Structure 1
Amino acid sequence: MDRYERTLALHRILKSARYPVSLQRLMDELACSRATLYRDIAFLRDALGAPIESEGEGGFRYNEKDAERFELPGLWLNSDELHALLATHQLLDRTGSGVLSSALAPLRGRIESLLAQQAGGKRWPVERVRVIGSYVRQRDEIAFRVVASAVLERKRLAFDYLARSTNERTHRTVSPQRLTHYRDNWYLDAWDQDREALRSFSVDRIQHARVQDEAARDLPDAELDQHLASSYGIFSGAPKANATILFSAKAARWVADEHWHSKQEGRFLPDGRYQLKIPYSNAKELLMDVLRYGADAEIVEPESLRQQARTLLQLALSAYER
């Protein structure tokens, strides 16, 4: 671990310890040498003002009188931790005054308490950091509660589903597996009893949901990951092909730092362009993400995907030729 992580870990150990902590235990937990440990202790005590007391060979501890009041100054959450807390806080705020608000109030209070600890006991100014949602769709909070209950209680679920792709209404009976939050919207991953296959359903298109008495069929996590997470985007299924996309040198400055898929392969070409390879099952979402780069992106293969992109671009161009 780096110095930041060691300092934070050292603070947490000494803050929670009721008795002096030995040098050996600190070296073991921080995975560092004696010399490094002494430097970290000196930094925590002298630079950050921690009330550290030495017990000789007995180890170190915080002064009992000052331990409760001392907190590390500034921000001691890493970017992932801060994003997780703030995203969860703002996600809870988006529930509004619906059926989930009272149930989630204690969780919101706990998050605010954790954030306050990072601000030395003061209120954390959450309005100073924004987590902006994009393309958030309206949903029925009652339907969401029923779906979530079926997932957690491991019960079968029956509902009417109005698919956006076909605008057709079908009745489904499923064994819920997972509730997925993806790109600011909720999806239900489930085993469809009639079709005998895994399917993903947009929760905002689920209507008249009812939890059944029958126990849900549980599928192994490995099978779920293989079917639901092996291809690009929210569309499930084993990969049918690998897409190769070339991005201009200008777009490469963004794309090279983006995470598109867990099994993506990317490399810079000698001329500054960036080549990205991605496994996919359904081309729809991949095409939308590639085409947003306009002339800075070119699908090289497979040819079928390249033709689909060409058709979409020609249709878009035709709309401006009237």
Structure 2
Amino acid sequence: MDRYERVLTLHRALKAARYPVPMAQLLDELGCSRATLYRDIAFLRDALGAPVENSGGDAAAFSYSEADGERFELPGLWMNSDELAALLALNELMGRAGPGVLAGALAPLRTRIEQLLSDRSSGRALPIERIRVVAWGERRLDQVVFRQVAGAVLGRHQLRFGYRARTTNTSTQRWISPQRLTHYRDNWYLDAWDHDREALRSFAVDRIKDPVVLEKPAIDVAEADLDDLLASSYGIFAGKPKAWATIRFSEHAARWVSDEHWHSQQKGQWLPDGRYELQLPYSNARELLMDVLKYGPDAEIVAPLSLREELKIQLQLALSGYR
């Protein structure tokens, strides 16, 4: 552990402690000698202004003063190696946006992160190219539209915009109270209260055109109500669950599916023959069927019968295109 990490560990130990921390405990946590510990404490107190107090005596213990310890934080941004590695991954996630929606807004932050990544005592920049992020199915997003929508969500203002739904390919004018932005499968969605339809709806942000932020304050819907309607069923499509799907996966596919998170209420179990059975609630079958179809012969819908028959029809239609 280098000095940077020792000082950070020392600060966190003293910050979290309700009582003075014995020297023996600090030596164990920092993995250093008594002399090194005293040097680090002196640096923390004299160079960084930490309100360190020493109880003295043979059984020395250290703490932050009761008056100032609660308010004191290390100046700047301090992270250990693990946290810095996580920041490195975040840096690549932001970089993945490229010329897209977040790149312009986050450019100053990304520059600061890159400086932090090379500001360690060694002075050597960490190998950013060793972390690779690959987007899949990401749709083009208008940067200006995204910022206006995000601003309305955070500022709690109502919105008007044009919307062309993919399902019907028709354009409509919508008047909504934005509730939250949801990032799902590399794309952004707006959960909102639709004033004209008096119901909760989800909108693909990439289909929103010409948004106008209104001066009227947005109506707030309780988070529990949002989750009850928009997050209780499988996938992005809204609606309370109408049924539970039971899907059985082959022994081969089970190696992946058994570790995957499909839904917060999913139930999974291994079958005696090595297959894996997954149960989850759904409202609109469209997205669920697409996800089952990608497993081909390694997945079988067992129940309900209506969902099983719907999948059979899709398979037959797909097969007819190859005749």
**Fold match by TM threshold 0.5:** yes
The 3-state SS of whatever aligns with 1:179 is strand
Q: Which residue of 1 aligns with 2:89?
A: 86
In 2, the alpha carbon distance for the partners of 1:275 and 1:233 equals 19
Q: Which residue of 2 aligns with 1:175?
A: 177
Q: Which residue of 2 aligns with 1:278?
A: 280
Query: Gapped runs of 5+ residues in structure 1?
Result: 1-7, 28-33, 62-67
In 1, the alpha carbon distance for the partners of 2:307 and 2:114 equals 47
Report if aligned partners of 1:300, 1:306 keep a CA contact under 8 Å in 2: yes
Quote how far apart the aligned CAs of 1:112 are.
Answer: 3.0
Distance 1:279 1:21, change over 3 A: closer
In 2, the alpha carbon distance for the partners of 1:195 and 1:142 equals 26
Distance 1:85 1:289, change over 3 A: farther
Q: Which residue of 1 aligns with 2:47?
A: none
Report if aligned partners of 1:72, 1:118 keep a CA contact under 8 Å in 2: no
TM-score by length of 2: 0.78
RMSD: 3.5
Q: Which residue of 2 aligns with 1:237?
A: 239
The 3-state SS of whatever aligns with 1:157 is strand
Out of 143, 157, 167, the residue aligned to residue 141 of structure 1 is: 143
In 1, the alpha carbon distance for the partners of 2:202 and 2:191 equals 4
Matched, 1:12 2:8: yes
Out of 254, 257, 261, the residue aligned to residue 255 of structure 1 is: 257
Aligned residues: 291
In 2, the alpha carbon distance for the partners of 1:268 and 1:193 equals 46
Q: Which residue of 1 aligns with 2:165?
A: 163
Distance 1:268 1:101, change over 3 A: closer
Q: Which residue of 1 aligns with 2:82?
A: 76
Letter paired with 1:190? A
Quote how far apart the aligned CAs of 1:101 are.
Answer: 4.4
Quote how far apart the aligned CAs of 1:90 are.
Answer: 2.6
Distance 1:133 1:118, change over 3 A: farther
Letter paired with 2:10? L
Map 1:46-57 onto structure 2 (within 5 A): 51-53=36-38, 57=59
Map 1:285-304 onto structure 2 (within 5 A): 285-304=287-306
Quote how far apart the aligned CAs of 1:10 are.
Answer: 7.3
- Give the share of equivalent positions with the same residue, in percent: 52
Q: Which residue of 2 aligns with 1:202?
A: 204
Letter paired with 2:59? E
Letter paired with 1:177? Q
TM-score by length of 1: 0.78
Report if aligned partners of 1:174, 1:192 keep a CA contact under 8 Å in 2: yes
In 2, the alpha carbon distance for the partners of 1:274 and 1:233 equals 21
Distance 1:87 1:245, change over 3 A: farther
